[in-house]
Structure formats: C-alpha cells, structure tokens
A and B are shown apart, each in its own frame.
Chain A
C-alpha cells in the first residue's frame, strides 16, 4: 500500500540517510528508530509529502504521491512534533477546527466524546494554553479517534504522555491496524501494541 524506494535526504550538503526502502501492506505498522539527528522526522515529513526527497520516491497504492496530490493527503493523518493547537481556543474548539480542516467536520458532541476517550474530557472547555504538555498531546491525539485517514504518521506521539496515555495510544494503534489501517511511528520509548511493528533503523 505504502512503498518507499531508495529515499535519500540531504541537509545542506550532508546526507542524512540514503537508500531507505520499505513497503507496508494494509494493517501493518512501521516503527522508525534511530539516534537523535539521524533523520527520523525528515523521513516522516517526506512520507507525508511535506518535503520532497533528494532522491527516490514514495508511492501509495502503486502511484507516486506527487501525482496523487489531494487524494493522498485525504488518506494521511500527520501528527508532528508540535501539537497544532491554538493557545487561545479551547480543547473542544481545537479538535473541531482540526476535523473541519481534515474535510470531515464533526459536531460538538462527537468532539467532546473523543476528548473524553483521550482522557481530557474534563478540560474540554479550557483554553489550550492552560493545559499541561501531556494534556495538550492527548488533545492533539484525540484526532486519531474520529479521523478516517488510512495512514497514520506519528512523530514521537508518546512524548510527554504518562503511562496511561501510552497504553491508550497503543490500543488506538491496535484498533487502527486491525481495521486495515497503516501506521508509521517514531518513538524512543516502547509502545506496547499487540500488533507487531516492523522496525526501520536509521543511521545504523
């Protein structure tokens, strides 16, 4: 479903990685590992189409993602380092704005239910500014619960999460993979999913 062929990434004139290839079938997960500065985030940004690779190609369903454009972006959910939350909006408003942006507006009730399942239901009306780092992360990850995207690309999703949060995320990942979804995740901490993730090691 998702295939990367001989990806290469340059930072200035330094090669971060080259010859990275992998293929992911529906229902499979990939864990990207590597020390700091080996290009994990850069690889993920290439996979979602935010930055172009210096060489190589990413294909979705057999077609290069550059050619697919909006059709591919509709199939991807990207959760980067930053939480993409607006400090002045409440957690609820943030979740609804994110859903509308992903092309699938949701009602307030649905957003509240997602926040409750993510463990920040009590903070739904608080401005995002007043949430703790972990609560912000949970609010950002609440998108996973109603997104219809087939491919999840999560950059360090467990950063700032407590053990309960990590378990919750693992369960969400399992449900997604069982439903035939794909996931590409970077993490320095172990995420105890039932599903076996393939491992890609950068900078080895």
Chain B
C-alpha cells in the first residue's frame, strides 16, 4: 500500500477518535479535571509556605500529570475491542502499526495536551517563576507523549483481562519512572539554577525511543489479544 493511503487511514482513525471524545466530553475532560483537582489540593493541604511549595511544586505537578494520563488508558483499546472495531483495524490493508500510532496520538491530544495547557496556571499556585514554568511546559510537551506511548503498551497487553485497570497501573508505573525523573528533574534543575538542558535532552531521548519502539510493541500485543 502507498504511503498516501496509509496516512489517509491513520488520519481517519485520528479523526474518528477525536470525534468520539467530542461526543463524550465528560469522559474526555476527566484527566484534566483530575489534574486540576490534585494540583490545587496540595497547596491547600500544605498551607501557605512559599519555600516549601516551590520545592515540591515540580514533583507534584509531574506526578499529577502522570496519574491523569493513566485515567483514560484502560479505555484506550477496550471499547474498540468490545465493539469489534479493533478487528477491523487489525484487518485493514493499511499497516496496523500506523493505525495503532494514530490511536495513541488521539489519546495524547485528548488527555495529554489539555494538561500542558492547564499546567502554567496550576504552577502559579506553587509560586514558580516564569522561566521555570516555561521549562515545566517544555518538559510536559516532551514527557506526556512518552506517557501515552508507554501507557498504550500496557493497555494493549491487558486487553480482555479481567481487572485490567489495576494491571495496567502495575505494568506501566515502573516504565513511567524515567519520564518522571527527567521531567520533574528538569524543572527542579531550573529552579536550582543549574540549567534544565541535560534533563530535557534525556527526556527527548526517551520520547524518540518510545516513539520508535512503542507502536510495534502495541501492535504485537493487540494481535495477541485478538487471537
């Protein structure tokens, strides 16, 4: 099949998933609501201590974003699996790996991108300076796609398994650690004045590796689930 038609099919999958998210706004907005709630409760619980809040801010924001992206993972392939759409995806003449990547892209656009938009506002509650907020946004831009890609592997592996939601968390959380360490580390480093470039480069490397290998792993896992 030509590259053009594969792109058309992938865009078709992306469009369909975004349309479905639009029709189910409450589901689609759950991750960003969760993120806002978690990130707002911490300052309230800890109290007005600017120094302490600034210290914990990067870590809390990153952990909040990480947990928020996990919320929608369980449904990523499950609804397609239940209604038979996944079989049609697997039997499409277009490469399955491209279609799976399109589904992950849709997941990131729906549950990753809004977090990045909300993050600067939430960061204000922790008294982070402007340039640190910029680093936070960049680190989330590089990091949340990693979370979506790695999370999708877990979602594909647990497809059709009872209690899959908990299993996804168990599989995926250890794999999230590098993204969390480099992401929160970048923001911390900027706060400490040592420069975030090294952490961001490592996070970028994580994204390249995940972007290259995750779609293949997802495809293999989905094919096994369909057998």
Complex contacts, B16 vs chain A, CB 8 Å: 86, 89, 93, 97, 100
Contact present for A101 and B1 (CB under 8 Å) = no
Q: Which of B1, B12, B19 contacts A105 (CB 8 A)?
A: B12
Given the known interface contacts A70-B1, A82-B83, A82-B84, the answer about A49 and B227 at a Cβ–Cβ threshold of 8 Å is no
- A100 near B91 with CB under 8 A, answer no
Q: Which residue of B lies closest to A101 (CB)?
A: B92
Q: Which residues of A contact B (CB under 8 A)?
A: 48-52, 70-71, 73-74, 76, 78, 80-89, 93, 97-98, 100-103, 105
- Determine the distance from Cα of A48 to Cα of B83 in the docked complex, in whole angstroms: 18
Q: Which residues of chain B from 151 to 184 have any CB-CB distance to chain A below 8 Å in the complex?
A: none
Indicate if B9 sits at the interface (CB-CB under 8 A): yes
Residues of B within 8 A of A51 (CB): 226-227
Q: Which of A70, A82, A98, A105 contacts B93 (CB 8 A)?
A: A70
Q: List 27 A-B contacts (CB under 8 A).
A: A50-B227, A51-B226, A51-B227, A52-B227, A70-B1, A74-B1, A74-B93, A80-B87, A82-B87, A83-B83, A83-B84, A84-B83, A84-B87, A86-B85, A88-B20, A89-B20, A93-B19, A97-B16, A100-B13, A100-B16, A101-B9, A101-B13, A101-B88, A102-B92, A103-B9, A103-B92, A103-B94
User: Are B91 and A48 touching (Cβ within 8 A)?
Assistant: yes
Instruction: Name B82's closest neighbour in chain A (CB-CB).
Output: A82
**Once the chains bind, are A70 and B95 in contact (CB under 8 Å)?**
yes
B58-100 CB mask vs A (1 if < 8 Å, else 0) is 0000000000000000000000001111011111111100010
CB distance from B214 to the nearest CB of A (A): 21
Chain B residue nearest to A102 in the complex (CB): B92
- The reply on B8 being an interface residue by CB < 8 A is yes
Q: Could you tell me the distance in whole angstroms from the C-beta of A199 to the nearest C-beta in chain B?
A: 25
What residues of chain B lie closer than 8 Å to A80, measured between beta carbons?
A: 84, 87
Instruction: Write out the residue numbers on chain A whose beta carbons fall within 8 Å of the beta carbon of B9.
Output: 100-101, 103
Q: Give A9 Cβ to nearest chain B Cβ, in Å.
A: 11
B8–A84 CB distance below 8 A: no
Per-position binary interface string of chain B over residues 183-227, scored 1 when its CB falls under 8 Å from any chain A CB and 0 otherwise: 000000000000000000000000000000000000000000011
Whether A81 lies near B95 (C-beta < 8 A) is no
